[in-house]
Amino acid sequence: MIRRGFLKDMLGAAWTGGTLLEQAVFRATQARAQSAGAPASLFTIEKVAEGIYAAIAKPTALINCNAAIFENSSDLLIVDTHSKPSAVVALVSQLKKEVAAKPVRYIVNSHFHWDHTQGTPTYRKIALHADIVSSAATRRLLAENGAERLRGSVEAARKSLDALKEKLSTARTREAKAHFATAISETNAYLREVANYAPELPNVTTDGRLVIHDKAHELHVIFSGRAHTAGDVAVFCPQKKVIATGDALHGFMPYMFDGYPREWPGTLRGWAKLDFAHVIPGHAAVQHSKDRFMNMAGYIEELTEAVVKGKGAGRTAEQLQQTITPASLKSLTRGGYGDFLGDSLKKYRFLDPSLSKAVIISDGVKENIAHIYGALGRA
């Protein structure tokens, strides 16, 4: 669904952060995204501290991730690159208007997942001299899996179209009809946009801590163990007390398909010892305390323990999905963490509006059980 007024606005805002060649590529990418039918307004930008901003992804049919923007004295460092070129041009246009017309100097890929990395080739073209930073493990995983994961996301998107069309034809309320019509148009736009995607690999990696010394502040890219994937990094600014966490910590239920459930809580507790007051997560809202680190670590620990016990007793994942319920997990019921997750998912994910919070959480726990069950055999 393209809103003319917004597009005119976006085109009018000539991006002056780069060289003429970079600007030409930027405008061409912008035009291609528009002709593919990609939505133009994808983020809400929020100031988190002096010179640090969160671009919070609006809900879209194909998941998009947040970005963290660190404004250095003469350039920008951006954490994560979203799922598609149009997200990059949407963000860069918006940064020019709402943050600063400074060139992009550093890109950090927090981990290898497609919804955090598929915009990297676009940054490579519009910021020719930018360094692309990740952990060594993320670079390896992108090289091994990046193209295959893109094919997976394309296949899943194509398959989802039939189900979405079916749902649109039987939708009763105006809200439901609008939801499924938007889902179909955004899915088609995504498929057109990523048709020629090839992953762009980071050119700077770390197995520990890499520090960027800028006049404005220091930025620490920290790998300290496996979590959501084998290669998650956080970006920490000690002077401004901000941390950007990718998907190792966010406001949704943890996604554990590539995860290390026995190591993840320890990585989170380690990061929580750093001196920060604000968290820019990979998805959902900015947080201003360390509470969610403890909540998420506690949930992963409790659920993993229950799955380990059940698997040890010879139960199947399907059987455990019947007995381990949200109500049986203290980490979800205590302190309202389950409620927080439900509200957050309803607000920031593009979910069927008829789904209740209880159903969303229960489905999430079931998926987590299946993924933990599979991950327990992983080295």
CA distance 54 to 288: 13
Query: Rounded to the nearest whole angstrom, what is the least distance from the CB of residue 113 to Zn ion in the complex?
Result: 3
For Zn ion, which stretch binds (CB under 5 A), given 139-147, 241-249, 271-279, 350-358? 241-249
Helix axes 264-272, 291-312, angle to 10 degrees: 160
Query: Residue 211, CB half-sphere, CA atoms under 13 Å: how many?
Result: 7
CB of 136 to Zn ion, least distance (A): 18
Please give the residues from 266 up to 295 whose contact with Zn ion meets the rule CB under 5 A.
Answer: none
Phi, psi dihedral angles at 102 (to 5 degrees): -105, 150
Q: Which stretch binds Zn ion (CB under 5 A): 70-78, 154-162, 243-251, 354-362?
A: 243-251
Residues 93-122 that bind Zn ion (CB under 5 A): 113
Structure-token pair, residue 229: 């994937």
Q: Residue 217 or residue 250: which is nearer to Zn ion going by CB?
A: 250
Torsion of CA 284, 286, 292, 296, to 10 degrees: 30
Q: Which is nearer to Zn ion, 30 or 118 (CB)?
A: 118
Sign of the alpha-carbon dihedral angle for 17, 18, 20, 23: negative
- Smallest gap from residue 318 Cβ to Zn ion (A): 25
Considering only residues 314 to 343 of the shown chain, the ones binding Zn ion according to CB under 5 A are none
d(CA 346, CA 355): 9
Site string for Zn ion, 190-229 (x = CB under 5 A): ----------------------------------------
Q: Identify which of residues 93 and 245 has a Cβ nearer to Zn ion in the complex.
A: 245
DSSP string, 83-107: SSHHHHHHHHHHHHHHT----EEEE
φ, ψ of residue 167 in degrees (nearest 5)? -65, -40
Measured from the CB atom, the residue of 200 and 247 that comes closer to Zn ion is 247
Closest CB 228 distance from Zn ion, rounded Å = 6
Query: By C-alpha distance, which of 368, 116, 112, 110 is closest to 253?
Result: 368
Of 78, 11, 81, 80, residue with least CA distance to 40: 11
Other CB atoms within 10 Å distance of the CB of residue 37: 16
The count of chain residues that interact with Zn ion, using the rule CB under 5 A, is 2
Burial per residue of 339-367, b for 16 or more beta-carbon CB atoms within 10 angstroms, e otherwise: ebbbebbeebbbeeeeeebeebbbebbbb
Of residues 99 and 132, the one with the C-beta less far from Zn ion: 132
* CB closer to Zn ion out of 113 and 240: 113
Query: For Zn ion, which stretch binds (CB under 5 A), given 167-175, 189-197, 239-247, 298-306?
Result: 239-247
* 84 part of the interface to Zn ion, by CB under 5 A: no
29/117 with CB nearer Zn ion: 117
Residue 112 Cβ vs Zn ion, minimum distance, rounded to whole Å: 8
The edge-to-edge listing of strands for the beta sheet with 131-135 is 43-49, 52-57, 67-71, 76-79, 104-108, 131-135, 204-206
Q: Which tokens is 117 given?
A: 């990395």
Task: State in angstroms the smallest separation of the CB of 258 from Zn ion.
Answer: 8
Asked if 247 is part of the footprint of Zn ion (rule: CB under 5 A), the reply reads yes
Whole-number minimum distance, CB 252 to Zn ion, in Å?
10
Judged by CB under 5 A, the stretch of 88-96, 136-144, 245-253, 359-367 that binds Zn ion is 245-253
Report in angstroms how near the CB of residue 206 gets to Zn ion at its nearest.
19
CB of 52 to Zn ion, least distance (A): 22
Q: Which residues bind Zn ion (CB under 5 A)?
A: 113, 247
